[in-house]
Amino acid sequence: MMAKNSKNLFSEENLNVEPIQRAKTIPSRWYFEPDLFEFEQHYLFQNHWQYVCHENQISEVGDSYTTNIARNPVIILRTADHEVKAFFNVCKHRGGPLAVKKGTKTVLQCQYHGWTYLDDGSLRGIPDWNLVELFDKKDFGLEPVEIKVWQGLIFARISKTTPELSSLLSGIEKRISPINLGDLQFHSEHVYDVECNWKVYVDNFLEGYHIPIVHPELANLLDYREYVTETQTWHSLQHSPFKAQESMYSQNGGEAYYYFIFPNMMLNILPGRLQVNTVVPVSPTKCKVIFSYFYDDVEAKQKSGLIDDDIAYSHDIQLEDVEICEAVQCGLQSRAYDQGRFSVKREQGVYHFQSLLKNEFRKAIQKS
Ligand code: FES
Ligand SMILES: [Fe+2]
């Protein structure tokens, strides 16, 4: 599956995990080589749980949400029995995409030639099929996709070889208690197209080292000296107290948690508010970042203007991050750069992510 030069991409030196005090950052080629991108699609994104949407984004019977997991189209829907089910969004006739038709029964209909499926995935209706021989509908049901719901958040995986979702998220529930993300209401989704490899964006999320330079306004809000990064097996947490002054984020008291869940999901949790970010790889040098906003009381917070302020503020910060990430992508692709080093004090999260990545690549190579 890999081209000839993959050996160099995955040399022992590149895969070796050294202590942070001595470690180098991952090689620059990992941020733009098409072979590596393909490898990640196949061995990383097909092999890990991916966040899809919140349960209350599909609260009514027949509601659905479509997404792609490592280029596999997936549809999640609320069935007539009020269950959440997921299937590959691929019709068994000639691969067309499905849409949900609401009625007395929830039915999935292919948007190409109109084959219909029940919400358990079984094939129901086929137009103009009477002359076909040696055909059994039972062999042409939709492929199911495994899903799990944690605190209202729906995750899907298309391969069984992944670590369990519970180990990915272990300890978060206890840490954020009494907050329960399942109680929050969905507000809106915002998509940013970013001209950088998905890992540039993730690296950037994982450290507060850049805050004083890239986000001077945010630096005024946070107590940067108290900024802490904690790492667990499959996720890391950054938190920082707000400075005492009044701001829309400090007024409720409580703490802010910025979680990163391997490989590409972020949970930004503040009292009464959740922002989920998913970093979707698009090409070796492009990604899409989806921001989903949730609040404990959308109506009240909308009235008070808090939601507009929150989204506008996050948008400004995001534009600063996008600008620096796109510049970093150019730097990584330049002749001047290959590998750098880490601040032991400020870049624990980036080191943790890059070490997990190396371990996952090593496992994948051993299997492939
Ligand atoms: S591809 Fe679905 S009906 Fe033809
Ligand atoms: Fe940032």
How far apart (Å, rounded) are the C-alpha atoms in residues 209 and 227?
A: 9
Q: Are 208 and 238 in contact (CB under 8 A)?
A: yes
The domains of the chain, with CATH numbers, are 50-149 (2.102.10.10), 166-359 (3.90.380.10)
How far apart (Å, rounded) are the C-alpha atoms in residues 331 and 339?
A: 11
How far apart (Å, rounded) are the C-alpha atoms in residues 27 and 15?
A: 10
What pLDDT digit, counting tens, does each position of 202-223 carry?
999 999 999 999 999 888 888 8
Element (H, E) at 116: strand 116-118
Give the CB-side neighbour count of residue 133, counting CA atoms within 13 A. Answer: 0
- Atom 4, ligand 1: residue with shortest CA distance: 113
Chain centre distance of CA 333: 25
Strands ordered across the beta sheet of 273-283? 185-194, 286-295, 273-283, 265-270, 257-261, 235-239, 228-231
Q: Give 24-77 as a DSSP string.
A: BPPPGGGGT-HHHHHHHIIIIITTS-EEEEEGGGG-STT-EEEEEETTEEEEEE
Q: Would you say the CB of residue 110 lies under 6 angstroms from ligand 1?
A: yes
What pLDDT score does 253 carry?
Answer: 59
How far apart (Å, rounded) are the C-alpha atoms in residues 73 and 69?
A: 6
Pocket test for ligand 1, best of 87, 88, 93, 101 (most atoms within 8 A of CB): 93
Q: Would you say the CB of residue 113 lies under 6 angstroms from ligand 1?
A: yes
Distance 291 CA to ligand 2 centre (A): 14
Neighbouring residues of 317: CB distance < 8 A, sequence distance ≥ 6: 215, 218
Ranges of the chain with pLDDT below 70: 1-7, 104, 244-254
Q: Would you say the CB of residue 97 lies under 6 angstroms from ligand 1?
A: no
Q: Would you say the CB of residue 116 lies under 6 angstroms from ligand 1?
A: no
What pLDDT score does 159 carry?
Answer: 87
The one-letter code for the residue type at 91 is C
Neighbours of 203 (CB within 10 A): 23
Ligand nearest to the backbone CA of 117: 1
Q: Would you say the CB of residue 112 lies under 6 angstroms from ligand 1?
A: yes
Nearest residue to 179 via CA among 7, 294, 308, 284 = 294
What pLDDT score does 271 carry?
Answer: 84
What pLDDT score does 100 carry?
Answer: 86
Atom of ligand 1 nearest to the CA of 114: 3
What pLDDT score does 251 carry?
Answer: 55
- What does the block give as tokens for 186? 């969905």
Distance 124 CA to ligand 1 centre (A): 13
What pLDDT digit, counting tens, does each position of 302-342 carry?
999 999 999 999 999 999 999 999 999 999 999 999 999 99
